[in-house]
Amino acid sequence: MIGADDVSTILSSAVRLTVPLAFAACGEYLAERAGAMNISVEAMMLGAAFGSIATASATGSATTGLVAGVLIGLLIGLVHGNLSHRLEIDTFVAGLVLNALVLGLTGYLITISDFDSHQVSQVSVPWLRDIPLIGPPLFVERWPVYLLVVIVPLTWWLVERSRWGLELRAVGERPRAADVTGIRVNARRRQALLWCGALAGLGGAYLAVGEVGSFNQNMTAGRGYIVVAAVIFGGWRLGRTLLGCAIFGLADAMRLALPALGLELNAQLLIAAPYLLALLAMLLLANRRREPGALGRPFERGSP
Amino acid sequence: MREDEQAGEPSPVPVPALRLRGVSKSYGPVAACDAVDLDVYRGEIHGLLGENGAGKSTLMKILLGLVRRDAGTVLRDDEPVDIGSPRQAAALGIGMVHQHFSLIDPLTVWENVVLGDTGRIDRSAARDQVLEISRRYGLPVDPLARVAGLSAGERQRVELIKCLRGDPSVLILDEPTSVLTRAESAELFGVLRRAVRSESRAVILISHKLDEITAATDRVTVLRGGKVVFRSATARTGPRELARWMVGREVSLGAEAAVGLLPGTYGSAAGEAGPGRAAMAETGPEAGGSATGEAGPAKATMTEIRTEEIGTDEAARGVQDPPPPVLRLRGLTLTVDGVPVLSGLDLDVAPGEIVGLYGVEGNGQSSLGDLLSGLFAPDSGTVEISGRPVDLKRPGALHAAGLGIVPEDRHGSGLVPDMSVAANLVMKSLDAVSGRVFLDRKRTHALARRLVAEFGIVTPSTDTPVRDLSGGNRQRVVLARELSARPAVLVVAQPSRGLDVGAIEDMHRRLRDVASEGMAVLLISTELEEVMTLASRIAVISSGRITGVLSGGEVTAERLGTLVGGATA
Amino acid sequence: MREIPSGSGQGPSGRLLALLTAGPGASGWKTGLVTVAGVAVALALSSLLIAVTGGSPLDSVRALFQGSVADSTAWTSTLLYAAPLLLVAVGACVSARSGVFNIGQEGQVLVGALFAAWVGLRLAVTGPALLVVVLTVAALAGGAWAGLSSLMYRLRGVNIVVSTLLMTFVAQQLVAFAVNTPWLLQETRIGDAVVAPQSNPLPPGALLGSIGEYPDLQVNGGLLIAVTGAAIIATAITRTRWGFRLTMLGLNPVAARHAGVRADALGGAALAVSGAFAGLAGAVLLTSPVGVHRLQPGMAMNIGWDGLLVALVARNRPGPAVAVALLFGALRSGGGFLAATGVPSVVVDVVKALLVLAFVAPPAVIAVLRRRGSGVRTARDGHGAVPVAERTAL
């Protein structure tokens, strides 16, 4: 029998597993609305995870580590932006190379490093934490989780209400028309990748100094790709994208929790579940009519 | 005493909002604008009439600050100005609504309107502004609607609002009714009248459509070859006269072969030999070129005579049925982004004739060319080759049915620039140079060498990538490839574009040769000279459909101009 | 004879595709020069990394050398790694040429190995016939796995890059499942021994042995298969109708359609072929002495990813891919010796990634410089409306 406590534990676990995805998803969502499809999210998250632990270990402060992670994500976003939207290297190739580079680099550095474990502090909201079932998952968490409360609406507002967002959307739908109006297409895409890098970095950093407390090789294990799938699954709408992240997070949490609860479900199926769900979601629910018109297509002034 | 003197003075002449004096611009040896004088007054709608190459676009680019004039002055309200950039043009109160919209479909109307601004977005202010302008000028549009769902007319309203926002004193509209229905056009003219009268603005209406000019403008200036050839108050002239001025040309030696005027040039019925034919040259395009219209009545008589003669000749031979068309286009219709591009286009091309499809750019020729290249299927309509309908959705079906096409160069659909000359020459006829699996290098190169020699393609070797060839030679590669497949019908789209005189003449010669050998040729061109030189029949395309087909003596500057201008024959 | 340039990536204009993947001869000495400079920078950065983290670059190079090409044993190892790398790379060349970017090779390798193990352990056939069947089945399985992505694209327009990627993770779990399930492929329990998550070893009839007799050096049959595969694909691309159409499709899909190429079918076929080669690589990994002849979850050892990188460095041409596969094989083999010098072998991954960058960036840089130099009309003047490039003539 699964008791209320168990459900609560699973939900807490789900929230914690969703949060890194959610941060990164806010970033990738914005990038894709601007037409910049970006598979280097994995590199951003992984690099940030490593950087945050390394910095936290060096400075003794997990929060500094968190900031460092964001900066590293930003750096990777800067590199990718320039490789793909200035040098015009195919965005998938650039993403692939960055992923390989960061994987190798972090894998190498971790084997010769010895970091202390650091974790950001936990926040426990009085009164609200005592609500049965959803109290602990929502109101007893490490403090960076609550950044989402600001970041999600901020991302939405940036894309849908700000001038920068209007131009990003124009650039993602019909870059040629945007160019005519005087908007600098590739510059906007590079900026979008900076935002994506910062947020994916936050996601990766949270994974390291928020949840786990340390770094191990390839600790993101493909989460970056899940995020890309989530944006597609979410039909390029932020709400549905985050819902997708939540579903994947929940699947992950279930996988960890079920054996402990005595339920025997196939381990591999559970591990594969998020990826299968992502594929299924893209197959069944992806609304191609909502896809930004110029997604993944490079922009060259003067070409047809 | 003084008051008396003042009372006796005539009222001052109004200062034109925009005045051009001797404005010239050349690109190399070609004069795009040649000493153009133009006056546009507040409160008037001024029509600028002319065909491709007349100089309208360049003139507008000068006014918008995109291009610097070589000579002449531009005055705004009698002040000489120098328009160095689009920003300056906007600051001077010159605004333009382009022929091709640059709207972003998934965004809303108000978002599209404010897209070019800087600074914070004020949603309600933008909405209100759109509503206000919309109300003021009678351009009903919902600011919150997505552009994707709007019709062509509504989209144009959005573009107009974008322009009117800047409070321009001189408003330029480029071919505005090319995408509109009759009703929408009438509405547009009403809007313009209001803007112009009640707010003392000036409007320049660029067009090649005669009905538009006559219906909407107060005064009209006709450009031809970069020069102003005619100027009048619209009320004092009419479509026929305007057509003559728009199209009129010098008759050159080449033009005598136009439209079947030389004996025995083509095998088509319209081009049959006749003794009195040469004299028809006089009734050709230049007849209306003189300053007065007195050639009118005499011309009509001559045409009658000629028609009789034709009839006699035919009767003498016995009635000859024209050969069945090899290419038959019926009811081709296509709408792109809400804009109707082809509207029920019908056309026949018979073997051995060259049909010139003539019209001002932007009337559907490019889309027709793309369609015949097999790049997409129309919304409705059929293409029949040698009597059999072609499945336009299947890649390569047109080629298999016997249609060869030399597409408009800019599309890049005819060639793969990074592949070699030899590869491009054989890419549609792999059967000839390969077995079932393997390409035969020897045969490929032999074929390539033969075609290179036959068509005079200048290239270091057959392995040179095509992108390294000149424009003319690239054209030759495509032509060679298409002709080597011995098609039943050959379509050539804008063949002269980007070519030098020698290459053009070469191309024309080949086309005549293949036509005389029995191939049906469809020549899509915006160059009247070219069409007149080659075609035995001229079909005029306007707004996505054929407005009329002229052959033989029917081709006069006036009729041509009228058809080009949008009237149906 | 001039080789027709190849294409890679999804979507970009044919011009850029060609530049990205053309060899030095095709796009001029400038690209070659910049590439050499790039490689030098890559090596310098790697050495710096090693030095800064307390290792000795010189010792590292020596170790790499020793582990890869110093003696016959080293060479054997290098060649053993090179074979599956080359197979994956050749497949990647095919899909890249058609304009499709397949990055799911790692998963296709695993699926190939999975089906190879299944057939190898289950089928009651003996001798070399079994090996042939095993290899064939692996290729078909890999091709089908890639074909699933193709299907998803055809049916619902699912992005191929993302789907091949996600399928990799599914493949990993599929293999893990198979070797953890007794009635599937898990090894048989012997007495009270602990059962490991791996399959039984393949019977001798299903193993790829060495070819030829060389003192101390073993040249595995897998290498022969790989090199033959590279030759076949190179020939197919440059000499067959199919290859011609493939190249057209990758360089200029519009012209290809105009010339009658059925883009969907051809693209799908290219993707399947690419998966088939990856699957074959999986079978080679299983049946050659690289591993222990057992299906294990980690047996792909990133060969799939590396093979993709090999193709990128070789600019998607099967010929150069042979040399690059040897290089990457050497790096992998030599990497094993690095640990003795105190430098973790993972640094080799960094070197590989930097090398790819060194080969991929220069053509793009040249292209940009060329366009800036020719003074493309950059009509923008910062702010203010810039009218559309008008289609109306003078």
Q: Looking at the domain covering C73-188+196-341, what would its CATH class be?
A: mainly alpha
Q: Where are the domains positioned within chain C?
A: 16-55+343-370, 73-188+196-341
Q: Which of B37-46, B404-413, C14-23, C52-61 has the lowest mean pLDDT?
A: C14-23
Neighbouring subunits of C (3+ Cβ pairs under 8 A): A, B
pLDDT of residue A286: 62
Taking contacts as CB-CB distances below 8 angstroms, the residues of chain C near B30 are: 394
Taking contacts as CB-CB distances below 8 angstroms, the residues of chain A near B120 are: 162-163
Are the Cβ atoms of A112 and C54 closer than 8 angstroms?
Answer: yes
- Structure tokens given for B357: 């499809």
Neighbouring subunits of B (3+ Cβ pairs under 8 A): A, C
C-alpha span between C234 and A122 (Å, rounded): 59
pLDDT of residue C155: 87
pLDDT of residue B61: 86
Which of A90, A229, A283 minimises the CB distance to C9?
Answer: A90
Instruction: Inform me whether the pLDDT recorded for C380 exceeds 50.
Output: no
DSSP bridge partners of B172: B96, B204
CATH assignment of B18-237, among 3.90.1200.10, 3.60.15.10, 3.40.50.150, 3.40.50.300: 3.40.50.300
Better pLDDT: B336 or A285 = B336
* Band of pLDDT at residue C386, cut at 50, 70 and 90: very low
pLDDT of residue C3: 23
Q: Mutate which of B102, B103, B104, B337 to test chain A, going by most A C-beta atoms within 10 A? A: B104
* Band of pLDDT at residue B10, cut at 50, 70 and 90: low
Domain A4-123+139-288 has CATH 1.10.3470: yes
C-alpha span between C234 and B413 (Å, rounded): 27
* Band of pLDDT at residue C94, cut at 50, 70 and 90: very high
- Structure tokens given for A116: 């202390």
Q: Tell me which chain C residue has its CA closest to the CA of residue B433.
A: C241
Taking contacts as CB-CB distances below 8 angstroms, the residues of chain B near A162 are: 120-121
Contact B102/A at CB under 8 A: yes
Taking contacts as CB-CB distances below 8 angstroms, the residues of chain C near B90 are: 384-385
Give the 3-state secondary structure of residue B171.
strand
* Band of pLDDT at residue C20, cut at 50, 70 and 90: very low
Instruction: Inform me whether the pLDDT recorded for C231 exceeds 90.
Output: yes
Q: Which fold has domain B327-535?
A: Rossmann fold (3.40.50)
Instruction: Inform me whether the pLDDT recorded for C9 exceeds 50.
Output: no
pLDDT over 70 percentage in chain C: 87
Q: Tell me which chain C residue has its CA closest to the CA of residue A284.
A: C156
Contact B373/C at CB under 8 A: yes
With CA atoms as reference, report the closest residue to B62 among B51, B50, B72.
Answer: B72
Are the Cβ atoms of C152 and A283 closer than 8 angstroms?
Answer: yes
C-alpha span between A157 and B109 (Å, rounded): 19
Q: How many angstroms away from the CA of B533 is the closest CA of chain A?
A: 32
C-alpha span between C314 and B240 (Å, rounded): 67
The type of residue at A177 is: A
Taking contacts as CB-CB distances below 8 angstroms, the residues of chain C near B100 are: 388, 390-391
What average pLDDT score do residues C128-152 get? Answer: 94
Are the Cβ atoms of C368 and A296 closer than 8 angstroms?
Answer: no
pLDDT of residue C146: 96
Q: Where are the domains positioned within chain B?
A: 18-237, 327-535
* C-contacting residues in B 103-142 (Cβ below 8 Å): 116, 118
* A-contacting residues in C 15-44 (Cβ below 8 Å): 16, 20
pLDDT of residue B553: 64
- Provide the 8-state DSSP code for B271: G
C-alpha span between C177 and C179 (Å, rounded): 6
What average pLDDT score do residues B445-460 get? Answer: 90
Which residues have a Cβ under 8 Å from the Cβ of B334 and sit 6 or more positions away?
Answer: B340, B341, B342, B367, B371, B376, B378, B379, B544
- Structure tokens given for C46: 């790697």
C-alpha span between B338 and A303 (Å, rounded): 24
Q: What is the pLDDT of residues C314-329, one digit of tens each?
A: 999 999 999 999 999 9
* A-contacting residues in C 245-284 (Cβ below 8 Å): none
Mean pLDDT over all residues of chain B?
Answer: 79
How many Å separate Cα B10 from the centre of its chain? Answer: 46
Are the Cβ atoms of B115 and A178 closer than 8 angstroms?
Answer: yes
Sheet holding B45-49, edge to edge: B94-97, B170-174, B202-207, B45-49, B219-224, B227-233
Are the Cβ atoms of B428 and C260 closer than 8 angstroms?
Answer: yes
What average pLDDT score do residues B296-300 get? Answer: 38
pLDDT of residue B259: 39
Instruction: Inform me whether the pLDDT recorded for B372 exceeds 60.
Output: yes
pLDDT of residue B274: 35
Which of C2, C386, C392 minimises the CB distance to B86?
Answer: C386
Domain B18-237 shares a fold with domain B327-535? yes
Write phi, then psi, for B279 (nearest 5 degrees): -65, -20
* Band of pLDDT at residue B320, cut at 50, 70 and 90: low
Instruction: Inform me whether the pLDDT recorded for C25 exceeds 90.
Output: no
Q: What is the pLDDT of residues C247-268, one digit of tens each?
A: 999 988 888 888 888 888 999 9
Taking contacts as CB-CB distances below 8 angstroms, the residues of chain C near B420 are: 2, 4
Q: Tell me which chain B residue has its CA closest to the CA of residue C235.
A: B438
* A-contacting residues in C 142-161 (Cβ below 8 Å): 152, 155-159, 161
Instruction: Inform me whether the pLDDT recorded for B552 exceeds 90.
Output: no
Q: How many angstroms away from the CA of B36 is the closest CA of chain C?
A: 14
Are the Cβ atoms of A170 and B410 closer than 8 angstroms?
Answer: no
Which of C14, C241, C385 minimises the CB distance to B430?
Answer: C241
Q: What is the pLDDT of residues C160-218, one digit of tens each?
A: 988 999 999 999 999 998 888 888 888 777 777 787 888 888 888 778 888 777 777 77
Better pLDDT: C357 or B27 = C357
Instruction: Inform me whether the pLDDT recorded for C13 exceeds 80.
Output: no
Q: How many angstroms away from the CA of B202 is the closest CA of chain C?
A: 20
C-alpha span between B117 and A166 (Å, rounded): 11
Q: Tell me which chain B residue has its CA closest to the CA of residue C265.
A: B395
pLDDT over 90 percentage in chain B: 29
Instruction: Inform me whether the pLDDT recorded for C340 exceeds 60.
Output: yes
Are the Cβ atoms of C346 and A100 closer than 8 angstroms?
Answer: no
Are the Cβ atoms of C158 and A282 closer than 8 angstroms?
Answer: yes
C-alpha span between B112 and B142 (Å, rounded): 12
DSSP bridge partners of B330: B382
Q: Mutate which of A92, A99, A232 to test chain C, going by most C C-beta atoms within 10 A? A: A92
Digit-by-digit pLDDT tens for chain A (304 residues) are: 567 777 888 888 899 999 999 999 999 999 999 999 899 999 999 999 999 999 999 998 889 999 999 999 999 999 999 999 988 888 999 999 999 999 999 998 998 888 888 888 887 777 777 777 777 788 888 888 989 999 999 999 999 999 999 999 999 999 988 888 888 899 999 999 999 999 999 999 999 998 888 898 889 988 999 899 889 888 889 999 999 899 888 888 888 777 777 766 777 887 888 888 888 888 887 666 677 877 877 887 654 3
Q: What is the pLDDT of residues B169-195, one digit of tens each?
A: 999 998 887 777 777 888 888 888 888
Q: What is the pLDDT of residues B111-156, one digit of tens each?
A: 999 998 888 888 899 999 999 999 888 888 999 999 988 888 888 8
pLDDT of residue B204: 94
Taking contacts as CB-CB distances below 8 angstroms, the residues of chain A near C353 are: 97, 100-101, 104
Note whether B345 and B364 are within 8 A (CB). yes
Are the Cβ atoms of B423 and C391 closer than 8 angstroms?
Answer: no
SS3 content of chain B, % helix, strand, coil (to 5): 40, 25, 35
Neighbouring subunits of A (3+ Cβ pairs under 8 A): B, C
Contact C353/A at CB under 8 A: yes
C-alpha span between B465 and A216 (Å, rounded): 51
Residue-wise burial string across C96-134, b where 16 or more C-beta atoms lie within 10 A, e elsewhere: bbbbbbbbbbbbbbbbbbbbbbbbbbebebeeeebbebb
* C-contacting residues in A 193-252 (Cβ below 8 Å): 217, 222, 225, 228-229, 232
Note whether B206 and B172 are within 8 A (CB). yes
Q: What is the pLDDT of residues C103-120, one digit of tens each?
A: 999 999 999 999 999 998
* Band of pLDDT at residue C389, cut at 50, 70 and 90: very low
Are the Cβ atoms of B410 and A173 closer than 8 angstroms?
Answer: no
Are the Cβ atoms of B116 and A181 closer than 8 angstroms?
Answer: yes
Instruction: Work out how many CB contacts closer than 8 A connect B with C.
Output: 142
Total number of residues shown for chain B:
569
- Provide the 8-state DSSP code for B216: H
What average pLDDT score do residues C11-23 get? Answer: 44
What average pLDDT score do residues B331-337 get? Answer: 87
Q: What is the pLDDT of residues B374-417, one digit of tens each?
A: 888 899 999 999 989 999 888 888 998 999 999 886 446 688 88
- Structure tokens given for B288: 């209306």
Q: Mutate which of B367, B418, B459, B491 to test chain C, going by most C C-beta atoms within 10 A? A: B418
Q: Could you tell me the pTM of the whole model?
A: 0.82
pLDDT of residue B330: 93
* Band of pLDDT at residue B318, cut at 50, 70 and 90: very low
Q: What is the pLDDT of residues B494-511, one digit of tens each?
A: 887 767 777 788 888 889
* C-contacting residues in A 93-152 (Cβ below 8 Å): 93, 96-97, 100-101, 103-105, 107-109, 111-112
